[in-house]
Amino acid sequence: MKGIIVPMVTPFDKDEEVDEKAARGLTDWLIEEGVHAIFPNGSTGEMPKLKIDERKRMIDLVVDQTNGRVPVIAGTGDAATKHAVELMRYAKDAGADAAVAMVPFFWRYTPEVIMDHYKTISESVDLPVVLYDNPATNNILSAELVAKIVDEVPSVVALKDSSFDMVKLSKEIHSVGDRIAIIQGIEQLLVPSLLIRASGGIPGIGNFCARFMVDMYNKFVNGQLQEAAQMQAKLFALCNATERYGFEEFIKEALALLGHPVGQVRKPSRTLSPEERDEIRRILTQFGLTKQNAT
């Protein structure tokens, strides 16, 4: 549970149905680009917009296509504990290597309720669990709660922290980093997080610049800290662009421009204008990404 783990987008056809051929093709390309693991059904994969059956199908597709070449960390988080258990059981039976269990979302819950959620899914399914702290859920996994969950839920093997809070991340690494992997979920903070002993990153933009992210991680691991820091600085402009045009929208458009079409973002979403698409092409070219060097 380390390195660059890509939270894969969910490809759709023109009718907004899961595009199985595109999903298999994207899986192959990510592996060829050197990613350390693939994570279907994350927020970058538009998980809240997917039906339970569609999420199961994505797990099947990615597990089958990887064929053991890299681990599959299946997204199984849900607002309902019952559904999370169902998805985790399915992921285990399908052959996933671990499950990402996002903190329950939408409604606010007490730490006791969140703890009970993780205990229930862990006791129901024998599968390694990755905690996922995402502020968009309306619930926060504090560093103290993470430590308590790790103490009481032995199947937890990692935490994806997307809180943007480096102090919190540092506390997590200090308190439980010797027992579980702490993984940065924010692209802009990957190298700083590695410096304080994070195990890797789960970058959404890794869908279209996986090789760059893997190279940056490898440079850090090999002691080329200045080069890794320079790559991190270069990444800021790309990350800022995704915020201007919409994160998932930018990623899917970038993939299409690089020769890996995965359809549009499922509605409700913003449709990019021709001028915006041209601007995204310019941004990718400036970054060094073109269709020729991405295949």
Domain ranges of the chain: 3-208
pLDDT of 107 reads 84
b or e along 167-196 (b: 16 or more beta carbons within 10 Å of the residue's beta carbon)? Answer: ebbbbbbebbbeebbbbbbbbbbbbebbee
Q: Which of 90, 118, 132, 245 is catalytic?
A: 132
- For residue 80, CA distances in Å to 56, 76, 114, 237, 253 come to 16, 11, 11, 37, 32
What is the rounded CA–CA span in Å between residue 58 and residue 190?
Answer: 27
Q: Which of 148, 160, 168, 252 is catalytic?
A: 160
Indicate the burial class of 123 (C-beta count within 10 angstroms; 0-12, 13-18, 19 or more).
exposed
DSSP states of 114-127: HHHHHHHHHHH--S
Residue 226 · residue 210 · CB < 8 Å: no
Indicate the burial class of 10 (C-beta count within 10 angstroms; 0-12, 13-18, 19 or more).
buried
φ and ψ at residue 74, rounded to 5 degrees: -80, 135
In tens, the pLDDT along 10-51 reads: 999 999 999 999 999 999 999 999 999 999 999 999 999 999
In tens, the pLDDT along 107-140 reads: 899 999 999 999 999 999 999 999 999 888 888 8
- Is 132 part of the annotated catalytic residue set? yes
Return the residue matching tokens 């606010």: 108
- Is 119 part of the annotated catalytic residue set? no
Is pTM beyond 0.85? Reply is yes
pLDDT of 11 reads 98
In tens, the pLDDT along 176-227 reads: 999 999 999 999 999 999 999 999 999 999 999 999 999 999 999 999 999 9
Query: Of 3.30.420.40, 2.60.40.420, 3.40.640.10, 3.20.20.70, which CATH number belongs to 3-208?
Result: 3.20.20.70
